[in-house]
Structure 1
Amino acid sequence: MLLTRDHLPETIPDIAALDELLCRPSQALIDDLCKVDGDIMVLGVAGKMGPTLAGLAKAAAPDRRVIGVARFSDGSVKDWLQARGVETINCDLLDEAAIKALPKIQNIIFMAGRKFGAEGDLSLTWAMNSHVPAMVAQAFAGSRIVAFSTGCVYPFVPVSGQGADEDLAPNPPGEYAQSCVGRERMFEYFSRRHSTPGRLFRLNYAIDMRYGVLHDIASKVLQSKPIDVSLGHVNFIWQGDASSQALRCLAHCDTPTSPINVSGHEILAVRDLAAKFGQRLGIAPVIIGKEEPTAWLTNTSQAVSLFGLPVVDTEQLIRWTADWVSRSMPSLGKPTKYEVRDGRY
């Protein structure tokens, strides 16, 4: 079954159903991949989004090789991928020789990076987020490269506006986000040097039932924990839509590479989201703090013009998330830290 607005379930009963939904392609994704020749390799496939993005790629292009590359410290991820027809290669991306030994696949989705715990070892954060991209960009100079980045490369912008667009120069607080600017600059430099087509995929807050801004807010409402609204506005996107747009970017690469903002098209108030969860869960949210006039927000007009609106809208995500947390379903235990304003993760 193709992913369409008319075929979204009322509830997501379990992780197996969640995985199936995240790996369900739209016709638009299938059509865009038909415009692109060659197989697909996902570098850093073992993170939060990587497995289902690779599974989605295989479902959308079953006749092509889809290869997932990671250290695979958790062997169950490799088993999950292989069960869905995704080939796997063990590789430490900090090892330049290992990168050079990888097969020269025509389409690269680069997802490797370090965020959580970034402040604990800043040299490793910079190595993963800037040094590894430089090595990958040189090793795959003849490929298309869609490189995951973050909306955190932007400075804070007024919540009364439409969010930062791709023309706004990066100028973020904190070394994590600064290292992500470094990642982009490495891909940009080698794209210019080698005429490598690509896209810098500036993603703001992918939503899965097991993690994300909505999971964080809903869980705090359910547990009557205080919700700080000082960073009071966010935008976010269903993880399946984000994965689909990343893969569709392969058909919309620029030479040299260029940024594209990916998130929901709405700017949403944390206070309002908490209230909606409170209504659904029957618990009054505990709000602390006062909304600041600025936040990390992106303008996704370019993505909407290329891909249309996300298939899964905000109200559907709220319904699914409230149902998921109310049943005490699994969490990845990785808060987004969306409320952080100093860039320290």
Structure 2
Amino acid sequence: MDLKKLEEKYAIPSRELVEDVKQIEGDIMLLGIAGKMGVSMGKLLVDALKLAGKENKVYGVSRFSDPKAKSQVEESGIVAIACDLLNDAELFNLPNVANVIYLAGHKFGTVGNEDFTWAMNTYLPGRVSEKFKDSKIVAFSSGNVLPFVKLNEGGVDEDATPAPIGEYAQSCLGRERVFQYFAKKNQTEMLIYRLNYAVDFRYGVIMEIGKSVWNGKPIDLRTENVNVIWQGDANEIAIRSLLHCEAPAKVLNVTGPETLSTKWVAKEFAKIFGKEAKFEFEAEGSALLNNASECHRLFGYPKVTIREVIELNAAWIQNGGDEFGKPTHFQERGGQF
């Protein structure tokens, strides 16, 4: 199987995305582009703009500690800018743009590095809000800010009271509150993009379950249910969300429509691989689950279905596809990242 062709097939902008980018006025900047989603999102945006016959410039900003990431960004037709966002002089020297997608943040390695986590996740949003007070901002957040809920409650919507567990989740709520404050203060149109969990060929809950089945490792069932969304669909929603920013800031839950059983997902992989799915521990009856019905009202259901995701991840694993090597820790129940 040609994995490159498989990946390219799932990176083509949808008709809906092309139609929406026709309405985006001005240049677009992706802050923190070198993370798991940023490079693919930037390329998708550039491709959609070309198909729409638009000439908006796309900037990608990161420290670019990995030169390979900068090359990937530039090869995609994105203007790469090396910048330490926590350095005020560098941040405020960035070009002013009409549209910002804020992807910067810190999660893994929070324990023992709490000060940096709070600086990235809570302090930096205030500085970015001041720099780009005249821009539309789509700010990435996390479903980790929400409470664990019983499975029969169907997930929580945007009106739920946050109940973050652990310093990472608390700092993510801080990020939301700081953006919300500046949206009101400066009348900056924003959308808080509350995501859980994006999945792709190289990372995510589905790939992790598949790898466990492939390698004969038991799967932790304490958090036995999850929401996921294909990264390509999540990327499209992030870009299209630039047309739905508001002041005060709009909060949007972003995930797929299903409440998935990790045991069921594992058994589907076991059928494909011809292997046995192994499990450990007992389900605790609650999970971080989002109700993303408002997202689906605005943008429709994700185009890549869960069975497709399983089949894609199975093919990737069987053919030795590369990985990001950044586990999600979706089983974590104590907020320790």
What TM-score bracket applies, with the shorter chain setting the length? over 0.9
Partners of 2:25 and 2:56 within 8 A in 1? no
Does residue 1:311 correspond to 2:303, yes or no? Answer: yes
Aligned mates of 1:145, 1:199 — CA distance in 2: 6
Which amino acid is 1:196 matched to? T
2:47 maps to which residue? 59
Amino acid corresponding to residue 203 of structure 2 in structure 1: Y
Query: Aligned residues, how many?
Result: 333
Tell me if 1:180 matches 2:180.
no
In structure 2, the residue matched to 1:3 is none
**1:81 and 2:73 matched:** yes
1:88 Cα shift? 0.7
Superposed displacement of residue 21, structure 1: 4.0
Tell whether 2:6 aligns with 1:14. no
* Higher mean displacement: 142-151 or 75-84: 75-84
Q: Deviation digits for residues 201-234 of structure 1, max 9, x if unmatched?
A: 0010111111100110000011111101110000
* Amino acid paired to 1:246: A
1:79 shift after superposition: 1.1
CA distance in 2: counterparts of 1:166 and 1:311, whole angstroms: 23
* Matched residue SS, 1:61: helix
**Which residue in the other structure is 2:230 paired with?**
238
Secondary structure of 2:153 counterpart: coil
- Structure 2 SS opposite 1:120: coil
Q: 2:28 aligns with which of 35, 40, 45?
A: 40
Q: 1:22 and 1:281 mapped to 2: Cα distance?
A: 23
Gap regions ≥5 residues in structure 1: 1-10
Q: Which residue identity does 1:37 align to in structure 2?
A: E
CA contact (8 A) 1:198 1:257 kept: yes
- Letter matched to residue 27 of structure 2: D
Q: 284, 298, 306: which one pairs with 1:292?
A: 284
Matched, 1:29 2:17: yes
Q: Contact 1:211 / 1:331 at 8 angstroms: preserved in 2? A: yes
Say if 1:75 and 1:21 are closer, same or farther in 2 by CA, change over 3 A: farther
Shift of 1:327: 1.9
What runs of 5+ residues in structure 2 fail to find an aligned partner?
Answer: none
Assess if the C-alpha contact under 8 Å between 2:42 and 2:76 holds in 1: no
The Cα shift of 1:15 comes to: 4.4
Give the direction of change, closer, same or farther, for the CA distance of 1:33–1:107 in structure 2 (3 Å limit): same
Is the Cα–Cα contact under 8 Å of residues 33 and 250 in structure 1 kept in the other structure?
no
Q: Residue 329 of structure 1: CA displacement?
A: 1.5
The offset of 1:81, in angstroms, is: 1.4
Q: TM-score, structure 1 length as denominator?
A: 0.94
Report the Cα distance in structure 1 between the residues aligned to 2:228 and 2:266, rounded to whole angstroms: 15
- The answer to whether 1:123 aligns with 2:115 is yes
2:95 counterpart (103, 110, 116): 103
Q: Report the equivalent of 2:215.
A: 223
Tell me the secondary structure at the aligned position of residue 119 of structure 1: coil
Which stretch shifts more, 240-249 or 81-90? Answer: 81-90
Tell me the residue number matched to 1:164: 156
For residue 67 of structure 1, what is the amino acid of its counterpart? Y
Residue 162 to residue 217, structure 1, CA distance change in 2 (3 Å):
same
Say which is worse superposed, 149-158 or 323-332, in terms of deviation.
323-332
Q: Which amino acid aligns with 1:54?
A: G
TM-score by length of 2: 0.97
Give 1:211's aligned amino acid: Y
Q: Distance between the aligned counterparts of 2:69 and 2:9, measured in 1?
A: 18
Query: Which residue pairs with 1:189 in the alignment?
Result: 181
What is the match of residue 8 of structure 1? none
